[in-house]
A and B are shown apart, each in its own frame.
Chain A
Amino acid sequence: MKILLVFAALVAATCSEQLFVGDQVLRITASDEEQITLLRLLDEQEELQVDFWRHPTTPGHPADLRVPFSSLQAVKVFLESNGISYSIMIEDVQELVDEEKKAMMKSRRTERSTSTFNFASYHTIDEIYNWMDTLVDDHPSLVSKIQIGQSYENRPLYVLKFSTGGSNRPAIWLDTGIHSREWITQATGIWTANKIAEAYGQDPSITAILDSMDIFFEIVTNPDGFAFTHSSNRMWRKTRSINVGSSCVGVDPNRNWDAGFGGSGASSNPCSETYHGPYAHSEREVKAIVDFIRGHGNVKSVISIHSYSQMLLFPYGYKTAPAPHHQELNELAKKAVSDLAAVYGTKYTYGSIIDTIYRADGTTVDWAYDNGVKYSFTFELRDTGRYGFLLPSTQTIPTATKTWPALLDIMVHILEHPY
C-alpha cells in the first residue's frame, strides 16, 4: 500500500504538487451492516474526495480511509454522529511520503560510497560493477579498472588493477566467481579488493607488496553464469555458451584450460557440470584471462577462489605426479592454512588437487603452473557442506576476514621469493 502511495506522490511531485499535506488516514471499524452502508455512502460523496485504502466489507473488520485535509472535519463529524469508531492511523500523509522519499534517496546514495557498501549481503552484477567504479573513484592513485574481454553474452569482463606505478611489475592474479553459484567467492572478492585498497599505506605487508608488485583482481569472472544464478537457477555453475548439437548450455570454465585438457578428470558431455568444452580456451571468459596473462608476461602467481570445502589446493589436478615445486607449495599452503584456522570450525585441509579432492583436468591453476606461474593456488572457501553454495550472507565478512591472513601469507612469500 505504501508503495502505491509513494509512487503516486512521486508522480505528483514531478508536477511539482504537494498532494497530501495535512491529509490523514483513519482506521474505521464498522460494528454492523448499517454502518457498512453508511461508509459506502461516504465513498460516494465526490466533493469529499475520500480514498479507501482498504474498503469496508464486513462488520468488525477495519477499513482504512485517506481523508484530504479539507474534508477532515466533515468526515469526523459524520463518523462520530453515527457512532462509528475510528482511530488516526497516519497523522500527516505528506510527512510520511517525504520521509520515504528521503530514505530511498539516502539508501541509493549510501550504496554509492564504498565506506557504506553492505559487504554482508549478496549483490547483483550491476551492483558489483557500480561498486567497482566507486572503489576506483575512492582510490584513484592506486586502483584502476580494465576490461580484458567480453563474455559469451557480451558482458564486459572487468579486472581491478592495484598498482603504485612502475612498468609491467611482477604481478599477482586473483579471481573469484569463475563458478557462478559459489556466491561467497564474489562477495569475498569485493571485501578483499576493498581491503587491499584500504590497507595500502596502513598494513606493512600489503604496502611492501604493492610497492614492488601489481595485483590484478577479477571479481565476476563468469558474469553470464552469475546473472543466471540471480535470474533463473541459483545452482548454475558453468558459462552460458550454447553447445552445438545439444540442448544443454554451458562449459565448465575450470575444465576448459589447456592443461591435461579433455582427460577423464572432465566430461565430454555438454549436459555435464564438468563439461570441458569443444576445445581448450573455447570459452571467451577463459581465453580473455589466458591472453591477459600471456600478454602481461610477468605474472608470478594465480590464485583462483572457489567454494565450498575449506581447502587450499595447488597443482596438479590432471596428473598424480607431484609438481616440481610440490614441497615449497605444500609448506606454503600449510602455513597459510594455519593462519586461516585461527578459530575452530574454520579448519582447512591442503594438498594437491588430485590428492585432496579429485582428478580434475583442464584447470586454471594447472595451466598457469605449466606456463611458468609457480605460485598457483586454488582456495575452496566455507563451508564443508552444511550450507554449501547457499552460505548465509551473514558469513561473508567472517569468511573474507579469516581468509585474508592466508592470502597475505602467500603474497608475502611471493614478494620474498622472486623468480
Chain B
Amino acid sequence: AAMELPPSHYPASRAAALAAAYVCYRRGSAGRGLALRALGRAGRQDIDGVGHKYHLELVLEDVLNEDSTVNCTAEVLYHLGNKNIAPDVQFTLEGELKNTDEADQIFYNRIKSLEKELVAENIPDSHGNVPPEMEPVRLLAWAASGYVIWQNSTENTKFQLAQIKQVKQVKRSDKYLEFDYMILLHEMVSQEIIPWQMRVLWHPQHGVQVTQESRQPKHPWE
C-alpha cells in the first residue's frame, strides 16, 4: 500500500532527517557539511513482511554557503520488527556539489603538521560560537555523526548532533587522520541528550569512516 504523506507531518520529516544525515555521512568532509533545507514531496509504501519505505524529495544546503543548494531524491526503508538492523538508505543528488579538495587539503596539512595532537572541547560553546579553525573539526563530526544517526534511527526517532563535548586527535603513522570524539546527540522525540563516543578516520581522498562508536551512559545528576 502506497500513500502520499504531508511533508509537514512527522513521519516524513523524521525519514527526511535520517536521509539527510546519511547523505552527509557519505558526502561530508572537513570542507563540506550538508544539512536539510526543505522537504518537498513525500510518500510511504508499506511492504508486507518487510517494512515501511519512504520516498522523499529533499533540498540540501551547504552549511558553509547557504546559497548553495542541491536537490536530492532518497529512499528510506525501515525494517519491520528487528531494531538492530539500520534502515536502508539510497539517494541520488541532482547536480554537482562544490569541490572541496582545496579546503580539505589545507586542513589535512594543518593537522599533519601539528607538533602536539589536537584536543578541543565544547564545539560550539554555550553561546553557539565555533572558532574558525575548529569549523573543519566540526564538519568532520557532522559527517561522522551522520553514520551514527543512520545506524541508530527508527521511525520513532529524530537525531541531531547537539555538540562536540570533546575531540582528541589520535596519533597515526600512516596517511589517515584519526579523531576520537565524544559528542552529544539530541533525540527529538524523547528530548534526550545522549552522549556518544565515536572513532573517526579521514583522508581527503577517502571520505569519512567511523571505525567504532558506542552510546555512553548519562549521569543522573546531569
Q: Which residues of A contact B (CB under 8 A)?
A: 121-122, 229-230, 233-237, 246-249, 252, 267, 271-274, 309, 345, 347, 349-351, 355-358, 384-395
Contacts and interface: CB of A to CB of B under 8 A. Distances in A.
Interface string B76-99: 000000000000000000000000
Interface string B183-210: 0101011111100000000000000000
Contacts of A386: 35, 63
Question: Which 7 A-B pairs rank lowest in CB-CB distance, beginning with the nearest?
Answer: A392-B128, A385-B160, A349-B8, A273-B191, A247-B220, A235-B193, A390-B128
Nearest to A238: B191
Of the candidates B6, B189, B191, the one having the most CB atoms from chain A within 10 angstroms of its own CB is B191
12 contacts: A229-B126, A230-B126, A235-B163, A237-B191, A267-B190, A273-B192, A390-B124, A390-B126, A390-B163, A392-B128, A392-B129, A393-B129
Given A385-B35, A388-B160, A392-B129, A271 B124 contact: no
Contacts of A236: 222
Nearest to A386: B35
B186 A351 contact: no
Contact of A249 (B38, B163, B221): B221
Interface residues of B, number: 36
A387 B128 contact: yes
Contacts of A387: 124, 128
A390 B162 contact: yes
A223 B17 CA distance: 32
B132 to A, nearest CB: 13
A165 B161 CA distance: 48
A395 B188 CA distance: 22
Interface of B: 6-10, 13, 17, 35-38, 61, 63, 66, 124-129, 160-163, 184, 186, 188-193, 218, 220-222
Nearest to A394: B128
Nearest to A254: B191
Given A350-B8, A357-B10, A390-B127, 12 more contacts: A121-B127, A122-B127, A235-B163, A273-B192, A273-B193, A358-B188, A387-B124, A387-B128, A388-B162, A388-B186, A389-B162, A390-B126
Contacts of B161: 385, 388
A395 B192 contact: no
Q: Is the interface of A mostly helix, strand, loop or mixed?
A: loop
A233 B218 CA distance: 12
A347 B13 CA distance: 14
Contacts of B160: 385, 388
B10 A345 contact: no
Given A272-B192, A385-B35, A391 B128 contact: yes
Given A272-B192, A347-B38, A248 B8 contact: no
Contacts of B6: 351, 355
Given A350-B8, A385-B17, A387-B128, A358 B192 contact: no
A358 B157 CA distance: 10
A331 to B, nearest CB: 15
Contact of A273 (B9, B128, B190): B190
Nearest to B192: A273
A249 B128 CA distance: 26
Contacts of B128: 387, 390-395
Contact of A345 (B66, B186, B221): B66
A233 B126 CA distance: 10
Of the candidates A309, A350, A387, A395, the one having the most CB atoms from chain B within 10 angstroms of its own CB is A387
Nearest to B189: A358
Nearest to B163: A390
Given A235-B162, A237-B191, A392-B129, A351 B124 contact: no
A347 B126 CA distance: 25
A386 B146 CA distance: 12
Contacts of B193: 235, 273
